Structure 1
């Protein structure tokens, strides 16, 4: 008789235990160490996770669900009128000190290819999940470019804020506020600056 699938709560707890090892040992954490920390047999471990890097997915999915849930609930209430403010506060709440990935673990997500791949996939899932609540808040169709840009910008804020946590040691609140301020300045709407100092000469032209 086949075993019943492991519950989401159990998988999350296993993922948390593996995350503690990864935060301590980094990308060099061995399969043997991760399996031991998981409390599972090696066979069961690889039944749950196709690769050792996959062991971090349930924890990351939990974080993205909290972020999406915060955005959705704040879009539906009468609080902040600015969606940028909604997303900024949602990130700060979802990744508060007791919920944010450990600094070393977050660094792994940003810098180690196998773990970064998982993180990027989660980011895509985040953007897809944010389309509906943001479209509703904007009063536009879910298949509109406006809704998708809003979802991508919200996800970009989260990604940029997470990098700020890793690279600058910022709190979730400070990182989210700095990312929001950068979005508010709308860099893509600025005129590009012409700066020829130190520029490489064009091919075929003698300086």
Structure 2
């Protein structure tokens, strides 16, 4: 299966495909958006979401408020690039998923050498905040909503079916939901354990995927 690198439009998180390598202007735009996201997380973590303004985020990055609002409609939406980067990392891991192997078996096999994305500390801080900050929760859910068509396309390529088939959409939603539940479980379970590694997140992902694979027992 081909890598997912280059699939995503910088301005839209995970939601849209692009053809070819991003231009220099697009890469610079993405770098700025990630820098804004990093400063937003730092400020939200240190002084709270309510105690942080968009103007403060802009000053921390060294840009004008006008530039900040050209990239993001709200201060909370500033964190979307980091959340999308975490999901992109997870989807990229599936590029090595061999044919003839179930997803649970693949994650089990690769779990011994599982790694966390480079922005993991910021991502985990954000995920923890989404449980008490409704506006951040909305951004977290938006990141997963953006990921749905990407996961559907990945599963369709694997099965030879269509990403528009209801069955494929349901399977993509199940994988998406499992990834979200696992990330939230990991973020809260290991909030006080900075040494938690890829093995722990793999265990959470496996538990969520197995629950999804069981189907509905009701």
List aligned pairs for 1:1-80, cutoff 5 A: 7-31=29-53, 32-71=55-94, 73-75=95-97, 77=98
Is there any run of 5+ residues in structure 1 with no aligned partner, and where?
193-207
Q: CA deviation at 1:17?
A: 2.1
The whole-number CA distance in structure 2 between the counterparts of 1:128 and 1:151 is: 8
SS at match of 1:7: helix
Contact 2:45 2:125 in 1 (8 A): yes
Q: CA deviation at 1:28?
A: 2.8
Looking at structure 2, the residues matched to 143 and 26 of structure 1 have their Cα atoms a distance apart, in angstroms, of 41
Give the greater-gyration-radius structure (CA): 1
184 and 104 in structure 1: CA distance in 2 versus 1, 3 angstrom threshold: closer
Task: Name the TM-score, length of structure 2 as normaliser.
Answer: 0.70
How far residue 51 of structure 1 moved from its aligned partner, in angstroms, is 0.9
Q: Does the CA-based 8 Å contact 2:36-2:57 persist in structure 1?
A: no
RMSD of aligned residue pairs (Cα, Å): 2.9
Structure 2 residue runs of 5 or longer lacking an equivalent are 1-24, 191-195
What CA deviation, in whole Å up to 9, does each residue of 1:135-159 have, x standing for no partner? Answer: 2223333222331122112111211
Structure 1 residue 10: Cα displacement = 1.8
Evaluate the alpha carbon distance shift between residue 165 and residue 178 of structure 1 in structure 2; reply closer, same or farther with a 3 A threshold: closer
Q: What is the aligned partner in structure 2 of residue 156 from structure 1?
A: 177
2:14 maps to what in 1? none
Q: Is the 8 A contact 1:18 1:34 kept in 2?
A: yes
